[in-house]
Chain A
Amino acid sequence: MQAFRYTQAKTVDVALDPGQRFLAGGTTLVDLMKLNVETPHSVVDINLLPLDRVEPTPDGGLKVGALVRNSDLANHADVKARYTVLSEALLSGASPQLRNMATTGGNLLQRTRCYYYRDINYACNKREPGSGCPAQDGFNRIHAVLGGSDQCVATHPSDMAVAMMALEAVVHAKGAKGERQIALENFYLTPGTTPDKENVLEPDELITYVTLPRLAAGTRSHYLKLRDRAQYEFALASAAVVVQVEGSRIRRVRIALGGVGTKPWRSKEAEAVLEGKPAHTKNFEAAAAAAMRGAKPLKYNGFKIELAKQAIVRTLSMVTA
């Protein structure tokens, strides 16, 4: 870790220059600073900002402050009751200690666990554009099968963001140019030729809130995370499903995947297969196949394609049962 300046932000109108970083829970930032992957000359602690509340919105949704801790959000009564998928996704992530520190904004912006990104002795296009990508022919069991490019195949590791994708959350940000709202669906970028740019946020922009739209009555949701061990591990494949069933037919469904994509992966292809169709296994399997149609396996991660399909099918069976 290199020496840095530490300040505390007192208002949301903070101006950042590119060598600075916001500090929320610190579970990603400080970790990467210890590895010298992040080397900010100064860190602006935002923990004093009044962004730590979960409030109802006028249209029946929920407004989640950027500093709401993952544990608090997971255990919030409204979230548990209505946005089950989000509570489950949060509780499947990291460990209790980490969740007690991790914040909503920080979780959205957490960085990949790619081994090569996290070690400055390797080339990495995400860290140093143009330097190369050792994951392509390296040990890539944990890497992405969806959305990768020859420049980068790192997964976005968040569970929370996958659930929020399926919930069609909206990110609220504030920067030098004012406030704006970004649908989470448009928030993340695939690596393409610019893997260093993971999302549309400007370097000086602060995430203030995330809003969750109201869910229609009778909507059910579930998050299923598959991995080597039962707890405290990132997903090899996960599925978030939010569904509204009418009679025996699926009226509306949102499906997102974790652990397999270079960003939290919304699958409109899978949704299209299901909407208006009866909720039964054949259709779930067709949806799963559609979701993974474009998947590209690397040397060690081909099994993730089948695993993701299994996650989708099982989650759909569970929420529609």
Chain B
Amino acid sequence: MAISPIIGSAVTRVDGKLKVTGGAQYAVDHPIEGVAYGAPVASTIGSGRIANIDLSVAEAMPGVLGILYHGNCGPVYRTAGPFERNSIVSEGRPPFEDNKVYYYGQYVALVVADTFERALDAAAHVKVDYETAKPVTRMSEVTTPLGPAHRSYSRGDAETAFKNAPVKTDEVYTTPTETHNPMEMHATIAVWKGNHVTLYETTQGVVNMQGVVSQMLGVPLDNVHIVSPFVGSGFGGKLFPWPNTILAAMAARKLGRPVKVTVPRSLMFTTVGHRPITEQHIRLGATQDGKLQAVIHEVKNPTSLLSDYMENATGSTPVMYSCPNVKTAQWVVRLNIGSPMAMRGPGACPGMYGLDSALDDLAIKLNMDPLEIRLKNYAERDESSGKPFSSKHLRECYTKGAERIGWSKRTPGVGSMRDGNEIVGLGVGTAIWGAYRGGAHARVRLSADGRARVSSATQDIGTGTYTVMALIVADKTGLPVERIDSVLGDSSLPPGPMSGGSTATATIVPAVAAASVKVIGQMLDLASRTNGSPYKGVDAQTLAMTNGRVHKQGEAPESGIPFEKLLEMQQIAALEAEAQTGGAPDADNYSMHCFGAHFVEVGWDPGIARLRVRKTVTVMDAGRIISEKSARNQILGAVVMGIGMGMFEDTYYDPRNAKPLNNNFADYIVATNADIPEQEVIFLDYPDPVIGEYGARGIGEIGLVGVAPALTMAVYHATGVRVRNLPVRIEQLMKA
């Protein structure tokens, strides 16, 4: 069946009006009668143990209903582990398990009171005495040998090839700790009815959260209900539950009263993840004309004492460029900091900053154009697996982007392009992100009021999932989007995908399509056997549904009958079908990735050490675009975040007590509107023939990958300063 023009058109997101009018209820917005407020008390040391907790003052304060800590919190369990489906937690240790402190900002108590203000005031009066140990906050302080790599890859003989290569680069690139900081802070309202608990949440995975909560609280899965209709973004920080969710549930159970817990912004820097530092040692060997002979990419990242999180920065390295000899290795180092967690474009984002920066260093050494060296090493197939790419149009991304930014006018000399007080610099970076489609269930219902309803236990974290689901139903049934209700964010719906890894769209689309086809089939069947139906007795196989009307194939839809009429004739409220779909059938034979190219133009005013981004152009080869507006929105936002990664973001820990010193939005700087220039986004819109009927791949993360190296190369072009430690700072450039 042909795909209708509504797919890929600029439909306004279906939840847009609710969001801009305040009608969308985020986690803490749910009005719950009798709700009490939980205020966390967090550790102010980086390592050690709680020697004593004095609750006497706090307990006597007005409105205080109870205080939980390790001595009185009641049972809380560890999850059964990764072998058990849907039980992934961000931090293995349940809150309040014992009196040990592993990092600054770890929960040590939760004060519950009848108002938010009273809870906060009492929390400030919980007196905690610690036995303090010296925290280890930097990888350089860890002197024990790294030992064998925790993950590695090799093809050819990279060390020998590097040794023999006529041209080499050998540099260390670092990326800082970045904190996810979604607008909506992590929050939970927990409501118990007997042995059943409902959690109003903000999560990227209602299904996984249901499993985790059931296991950690020791109640059957059926007794746990997760409700998360709107999510003020997550950026990966909300993929898997953090202790705050369990704390709210524990407190509500103990006190026999609904409890609301919001993680304050300051604790968003310690207790709900971050993208850890990466330290990347990259060695490239090449021929005189810039053809790669050896790529050696070795990465260390810190993790906490409670998580094994590895920032897989070498993940894309074997796939990205053509090279016979490639070696990668990764290590994790344990520090007294909160647990890291995947942040938008995990692995690839810091990893491609390293790899593309190294390639630029090679280009600088060879006096080669940065775009030319990328084309020179273009990978025609996935050399790590030998498989063909399901669909790759990266070359076109480069050429289209180059045209739009005016790359041909780029003069190679450092500082050679001027505009008034500003020196102009141009750089290019490559984006790559694995495309994956998993399994999902979806349900579609056609009801007598002429509306359709599509549902699945997935989430919309701002990425447009509500709209994508509606568009697929619109495409299949021909109903206008206004007559379709999208329902998600509820664990009682048929299990749907996580909003993570840029997989939700590719995963949910086939399930919704299959459920739509199924329910349409039922409707055609109904038409062929309903008394009074113009198609009574007609073979259902010869019927079709268009514009919401059942008609004979080959005849105009207007000749047919609206489906709601058929339901009326049969006195049926609705027809409903559920479908389950899995991975792409032919996925094993292909390497599936999204690609893209970013072009960044910066302006450097050396008289006042001012750097700004003047323009960005992004061209994406991301499969077929289902919802144009939300897709564009994803890429625009990701590039903004990439500018933040390149120029601003850096969580810095005080080495004395492991506190993130800039744990607020005045001191942790991200890009503001004034930092963002004209941005151009182009989608090539080639359907991926392998991933499924619609050819749609995910695009939530790829937009961030490759922005930072394009930016630092543009900075070098303008200033002559090669920044290898993000973010680019004024003081580094003042050496220009």
Cβ B121 vs Cβ A2 within 8 A: yes
Q: Is A138 interfacial (CB-CB < 8 Å)?
A: yes
Which residues of chain B come closer than 8 Å to A231, judged between CB atoms?
672-675
Cβ 8 A contact of A314, one of B117, B607, B661: B607
By a CB distance below 8 angstroms, the chain B residues around A139 are 652, 654, 661
For A230, list chain B residues within 8 Å (CB). Answer: 612, 672, 674-675
- In contact, B607 and A310 (Cβ under 8 angstroms): yes
**Within B633-665, which residues are at the interface with A (CB < 8 Å)?**
647-648, 652, 654, 656-657, 659, 661-662
Docked Cα-Cα span, A56 to B669, in Å, equals: 40
- Judge if B142 is at the interface, Cβ distance under 8 Å: no
Asked if B671 is at the interface (CB within 8 A of a chain A CB), the reply is yes
Could you tell me if B612 and A228 are in contact, using CB atoms closer than 8 angstroms?
A: no
Give the distance to chain B from A160, nearest Cβ to Cβ, in Å.
17
Q: CB within 8 A of A228: which of B124, B659, B730?
A: B730
- Are the C-beta atoms of A311 and B608 separated by less than 8 Å? yes
| B544-589, CB < 8 A from A | none
| Chain A interface bracket (under 10, 10 to 19, 20 to 34, 35 or more) | 20 to 34
Q: Does residue B223 face the partner (Cβ distance < 8 Å to A)?
A: no
Q: Are B652 and A224 touching (Cβ within 8 A)?
A: no
Q: B731: which A residues are within 8 A, CB to CB?
A: 302-303
Contacts of B730 in A (CB 8 A): 226, 228, 236, 303, 307
**Measured between alpha carbons, how far is A3 from B120 in the docked complex, in Å?**
10
Inter-chain contacts of A119 with B (CB < 8 A): 659
Asked whether, in the complex, the Cβ of A224 is within 8 Å of the Cβ of B608, the reply is yes
Q: Which of B698-736 contact A (CB under 8 A)?
A: 729-731, 734
**Residues of chain B with a CB closer than 8 A to A234's CB:** 666
Interface centre among A138, A226, A310, A313 (most CB of B within 10 A): A310
- How far does the Cβ of B606 sit from chain A's closest Cβ, in whole Å? 9
B610 close to A (CB within 8 Å): yes
Selected from B62, B609, B662, the residue in CB contact (under 8 A) with A115 is B662
Q: Given contacts A115-B661, A139-B661, is CB(A229)–CB(B124) below 8 Å? A: no
- A232 contacts partner chain B, Cβ-Cβ < 8 Å: yes
Q: Does B25 contact A (CB under 8 A)?
A: no
Asked whether A121 lies within 8 Å of B672 as measured between CB atoms, the reply is: no
Q: Is the CB of B669 within 8 A of A121?
A: no
- Compute how far the CA of A308 lies from the CA of B663 in the bound complex, rounded to whole angstroms: 27
Inter-chain contact B117/A1, CB cutoff 8 Å:
yes
- Asked if B222 is at the interface (CB within 8 A of a chain A CB), the reply is no
Q: Which residues of B contact A179 (CB under 8 A)?
A: none
In the complex, which residues of chain B have a beta carbon less than 8 angstroms from the beta carbon of A36?
124
* Cβ-neighbour of B656 out of A134, A228, A306, A311 (below 8 A): A134
Query: A250 to chain B: closest CB distance in Å?
Result: 20
Which residues of chain A from 226 to 282 have any CB-CB distance to chain B below 8 Å in the complex?
A: 226, 228-234, 236
- Picked from A115, A121, A228, A236, the residue with its CB within 8 Å of the CB of B648 is A228
**CB-based contact B729/A232 at 8 Å:** no
Within residues 652 to 695 of chain B, which ones have a CB less than 8 A from any CB in chain A?
652, 654, 656-657, 659, 661-662, 666-667, 669, 671-675
Q: Does the CB pair B648–A232 fall under 8 Å?
A: no
A-B contact pairs, 8 of them (CB 8 A): A115-B667, A121-B659, A224-B608, A226-B608, A228-B730, A229-B672, A303-B730, A306-B734
Known A-B contacts: A2-B121, A113-B667, A230-B675. Give 18 more (CB < 8 A): A2-B124, A3-B117, A36-B124, A115-B662, A121-B44, A121-B657, A121-B659, A139-B652, A226-B610, A228-B730, A229-B648, A229-B675, A232-B666, A232-B674, A233-B669, A310-B607, A310-B609, A314-B608
Taking Cβ atoms with an 8 Å cutoff, the residues of A that contact B are 1-3, 36, 113, 115, 119, 121, 134, 138-139, 224, 226, 228-234, 236, 302-303, 306-307, 310-311, 313-314
Q: Which 8 A-B pairs have the closest CB atoms?
A: A230-B674, A303-B731, A231-B674, A115-B661, A121-B44, A231-B672, A230-B675, A310-B608
